[in-house]
Each structure stands twice: as C-alpha cells, then as structure tokens.
Structure 1
Amino acid sequence: MAEAPEASRRRKLTPEREQELLRVTAELVGEVGYDSLTMAEVARRAKCSTATLYRQWESKPRLVISAWRAHGRERLEAFAGIDTGGLHSDLTTYVHLLVTNDPDKETFASLPQAIVQDEALMGVVREVLIHPIVNDLTRLLERAVDRGEIAAGHPALAVAEQVVFGPWLALDILYGSPATEEQLMTVIDTVLLPALKAPPTAG
C-alpha cells in the first residue's frame, strides 16, 4: 500500500536535520521569548524555508513545544521506563520525576505565561507533553493490576490521574510555589493508595 503523502513529506528531514532545527528553535525561544519568535526567523537562522518548518511541524506552537520536548527527551522517556516491580516504589519514582526541575527551565521561561494566554499552544502542550506522561501513569497502574496489587476494574483507577496531577498543578496556584516531592507523596500515601487498595464498593 502506498504511504500517505503526509508521512512521505515528513521523512524528507533526516533525524540530524530535524534535531538541528529544534535546537535553533530552542535557542531563539531563549533569546527572544515565545511571543517574539517567528517561523521566518527560525528559517533564516536554520537556513531553511518556512515551508519546511510548516510541513514538518504545522505551526509555531507545535514547533516550539517539539523543541521543548526534544530538550527534555531523556526526562520524559524516564517516565515510560518506570518499572520497579511494586506499586508504591513505581509511584515514588513517578512523583520524583514529576517534580524534578526542568534543566531547560530558563531557556523556555517565556512559555508558561504564553501557554495560559494561547489556547492553541495549550492544546499542543497537552498533546505533546502532558498526555504522554499521563499515559505512562495509566500503564504503571495497569502493571499493578496485572501483579494483583489493585483489583481489575477498581473505580479509583478512573480518578488516579486527577489525584496525582491535581495537587501538582493546584499547589503552585494556591501557594505560589511548586509542589514538592514530599507533598505529592503525602497525597499518594494518604489518598490514592488507600483508595486503590480498598475493596471496590458494589454499584
């Protein structure tokens, strides 16, 4: 079967060239901020056409968030690699990664405010950065079900991601400082794990 035109176009960039374009994008974000960055300036500095950028990434938000993901690739891939053999230690490792400082925080310092103001950018952040690590949490819990640590179909599984991510996001808003590993582990130990370990209620 012939490949879709979109897949064919995207493969025109070699992995090395793709990473070079993402590096240039990250450099420009660090220099001028998200709002002032333009696809034309990225193309000029990277010595490519804007058409190349749009074919590969479709939009400025997707290009910038792809650059952010590329810079934090090792950290993001670590979420998928969590498998200590036990639910509590898996969740401990997950929380540790969640609150670990982003090594590229200064480079992408202009993004948090831009995300709040730009719904298109927020949509890409959800798709490219947030949903993958939420899916990693789901798989972590599925392995615990397979090991018999959680009852299959337990209703608390449906709200596990809200229990973990809710405080992670809300503590910064409520108190003006990011959630700590200790705070999130308190939520895990006093709320999530007791709920997951409790016998499922009928109905």
Structure 2
Amino acid sequence: MPDQPIRRKRMTAERWVELLTTALDVMREVGYEALTMEAVAVRARCSKATLYRIWRGKPQMIVAALYATRRVDTGAIDTGTLRGDLLALCGQLVADVQRDTELLAALAHAVLIDPELASAMRTSLVEPESAALDGFVDRAVQRGELAARPAAAEFLPQLMFVALMARPLTEGAFLDMDYATRYIDLVIMPALLTNCPVVPPSFES
C-alpha cells in the first residue's frame, strides 16, 4: 500500500564483502580512473542506487573495499622484540604480496590527482597503520631495546611501503621473506638503532 514503508532486505556480511571484492576486481581490470559505480553495480548484480545508499562515491567505496579485504593486521602484532614485530609484519605482507602490490600500483596515480581519494586513504588506512608502527617503536623503548625514540621512526611507514612497492620495479620480483629479512636487518634496524640525528655537512669554506 502507498502509505506503508518499503522494507529493504538487510545486507548480509557475505554480500557486503562480495560487493567490495567486486569493486576491487573491476578496478584491477580497468584502473581507478575508468572505474564507475555503474560498472561495479553491473558486475555485482545490484542497482547503482544500492551502492550510493552505502557509499557517497567511488573513493569511499574503494577505501572501504581495501579496508574490508585487507589481510594485514598490524595492530595485532606483538612478538616481544622490535625486529620480531617487523618480521611478523613482513610475513603478513608476503602472504598476499601480489594482490596488494597490484592494488596499490593501480591507485598510485589516482591518489595524486584525486584529493578525496587521497584523504580517505590517509584517514582509513595510512594513519591507523602508521599508529601501529609507532606502537612497535614505543614498546621497543619501554623494553629498553632503544635508548630513546629514534629520529628515523618518523619514516618507518615510508620504509615499509618501499619494501612492498620498490622490488617489482628494481628487481622484477615481489617481496619475499628472504628479501624482507635482509631489508630489515641491513636498512631498517640500523636506522632505528641510531638515535643521533644526522648533521648535514657544512658548505662553508
């Protein structure tokens, strides 16, 4: 009857994940710039209005998809040592490295030209992961592994991101645990164990 409210089916958790996974599948095929809500709706067998009822637009949908389907749980890592925490994180990254590398590569250009996407990714993904990495360092200071918070800790998120993204470009291979272990032992740990900031050289004669 016209005066009765329309009842909508409640979306199940399985259907929610299916929508988000479909969005990522379409993005991998066509790229972020060419991705449309309509294309996702067609592939997911739902109406475009359904997607817009859940997400304001494409940036929010993709960030939600990245968050919901992520395999890495940095906040749950606590091995008792700083090196162990970093190795455990790399173990999670390696478990699904090809998928994650491809997704980040697909978004790399879009983040530069879409401020809304960049903001959503920083708020929902980058900042929580950076906070968890800060926790690694803070616990190391509390345990006495580090005498104080090192200056290099500011760049720890960037260093971990480089480990994931740079190897396909420089060596034509994805991150693996052998590479990750050497990277942590030869690059990250020496940087964090050095508490004195680097003094730039003087150019005065």
User: TM-score, with normalisation over the residues of structure 2?
Assistant: 0.68
Q: Matches of 2:68 and 2:110 in 1, distance apart?
A: 21
Q: Which residue of 1 aligns with 2:107?
A: 115
Structure 1: gaps (5+ residues): 1-12
Q: Contact 2:151 / 2:195 at 8 angstroms: preserved in 1?
A: no
Q: Contact 1:154 / 1:196 at 8 angstroms: preserved in 2?
A: yes
How many Å apart are 1:195 and its aligned residue?
Answer: 3.0
Alignment of 1:95 onto 2:87: no
Query: Match of 1:178, SS?
Result: coil
How many Å apart are 1:41 and its aligned residue?
Answer: 5.3
- Name the % identity: 27
Matches within 5 A, 1:47-126: 47=46, 50=49, 53-72=51-70, 75-77=71-73, 79-101=74-96, 105=99, 111-112=103-104, 114-119=106-111, 120=114, 123=118, 124-126=120-122
C-alpha distance after superposition, 1:113-134 (max 9, x if no partner): 5413423386244443444323
Q: Matches of 1:42 and 1:179 in 2, distance apart?
A: 30
Which of residues 152, 165, 168 in structure 2 aligns to 1:169?
A: 165
Q: Matches of 1:137 and 1:170 in 2, distance apart?
A: 20
Q: Matches of 2:124 and 2:135 in 1, distance apart?
A: 17
Which of residues 147, 162, 168 in structure 2 aligns to 1:151?
A: 147
C-alpha distance after superposition, 1:125-178 (max 9, x if no partner): 444344432332121111111212112232222233333332332222212222
Partner AA of 2:148 in structure 1? A
Query: Match of 2:136, SS?
Result: helix
Residues matched between the structures, number = 184
Structure 2: gaps (5+ residues): 1-8, 200-205
User: TM-score, with normalisation over the residues of structure 1?
Assistant: 0.69
Do the aligned partners of residues 66 and 28 (structure 1) sit closer, same or farther apart at CA in structure 2, a change above 3 Å counting? closer
C-alpha distance after superposition, 1:91-131 (max 9, x if no partner): 1111111222259x39x96x455413423386244443444
Q: Which residue of 1 aligns with 2:3?
A: none
Higher CA-based Rg: 2
